[in-house]
A = this chain, B = another copy of it.
Amino acid sequence: MEIIQTVQQLQQLQNRFKKLNIGFVPTMGALHDGHISLIKQAREQNDVVVVSIFVNPTQFLEGEDLETYPKKMEADSKICELCNVDYLFAPEISTMYSGDEVLIKAPNIRGYTLEGVKRPGHFDGMLQIVLKLLNLVQPTNAYFGKKDAQQLSLIKLMVDNFFLNVNIVECEIVREEDGLAMSSRNVYLSKDERIDALSISKSLKYAAKQIGSGELDCEVLINSMREIMNKIDIEYVAITNRKFEKIEKIELGNSMILVAAQVGTTRLIDNIWI
């Protein structure tokens, strides 16, 4: 008999039995170039690629756009085909949820700041569906974009906390030519709103430039960003460390600048990792 006291020993035992690398890209569909970059990365790094499309009801709050969230199954399926996806998992809601369920709760500190304040319960539902999907697909690598920075951080935390045997791959934000971060919700924007929305990425770029010139004071950076975004309805501009704790001075390699704003009726988020 062997006595095991570390996680590493246990996982080594399991990896002995694994044969193929599975890459997994979970999405809510309405695939855009951001998703495609994730899928391509998964394709390059794995033997088998699984994409899921599921608009998860439990991560939408009352009054959010669950009903109107863009659905493009035919086009999405075609995109996956063209990207050489092996399996597209597109379950019904009743496949993923039953009645009275065991629930997930975002962590007390990191889960209730920024998006966690603005969208209470959103992360609980997001973590719930990601846990379900990771358990179902059992991927070697799972791909998530940095645009949903807090989501990505909480998923990594959940993977650590629950000892999920998966590698979370952090993928760079993909932007339109003019700088707007790709989002399935961009289709909601009118022509004028589209122009106003650009101020988000512009403000982030400007902050990065200022930091490059040696400005590390977060208050100064945030004020100049707010000025650039003066035409849109800012929800928050925050500068934090990688644990989403607010900081006063930029720590290079450990900081993030995060923005959420309403442009017309569309809620957009963007960020930059410093």
Note all chain B residues with C-beta closer than 8 A to A88. 1-4
Known contacts being A17-B17, A102-B105, A127-B102, is A4 close to B135, with CB within 8 Å? no
- A73 to chain B: closest residue by CB: B3
Asked if A98 contacts B132 (CB within 8 A), the reply is: no
Q: List residues 53-88 of chain A with CB under 8 A from any CB of chain B.
A: 77, 80-81, 84-88
In the complex, A100→B3 CA distance in Å?
28
Note all chain B residues with C-beta closer than 8 A to A104. 102-105
Note all chain B residues with C-beta closer than 8 A to A90. 3-5
In the complex, A163→B134 CA distance in Å?
9
**Interface of A: prevailing SS:** mixed
Which residue in B89, B91, B132, B165 is a CB contact (below 8 Å) of A161? B132
Asked if A91 contacts B136 (CB within 8 A), the reply is: no
Which residue in B5, B84, B85 is a CB contact (below 8 Å) of A91? B5
Known contacts being A2-B87, A7-B95, A92-B5, is A135 close to B108, with CB within 8 Å? no
In the complex, A6→B100 CA distance in Å?
20
How many residues on the A side are at the interface (Cβ–Cβ under 8 A)?
Answer: 57
In the complex, A17→B107 CA distance in Å?
34
In the complex, A157→B157 CA distance in Å?
24
In the complex, A137→B11 CA distance in Å?
8
- Interface check A109, CB cutoff 8 A: yes
Asked if A136 contacts B107 (CB within 8 A), the reply is: no
Asked if A131 contacts B89 (CB within 8 A), the reply is: no
Asked if A135 contacts B162 (CB within 8 A), the reply is: yes
Asked if A103 contacts B105 (CB within 8 A), the reply is: yes
**How far is the CB of A51 from the nearest CB of chain B, in Å?**
9
- A8 to chain B: closest residue by CB: B95
Asked if B95 contacts A6 (CB within 8 A), the reply is: yes
Note all chain B residues with C-beta closer than 8 A to A77. 3
- Interface check A251, CB cutoff 8 A: no
Interface residues in chain A, defined as those with a beta carbon under 8 Å from any beta carbon in chain B: 1-7, 10-11, 13-14, 17-20, 77, 80-81, 84-92, 95, 98, 100-111, 127, 131-132, 135-138, 154, 157-158, 160-165
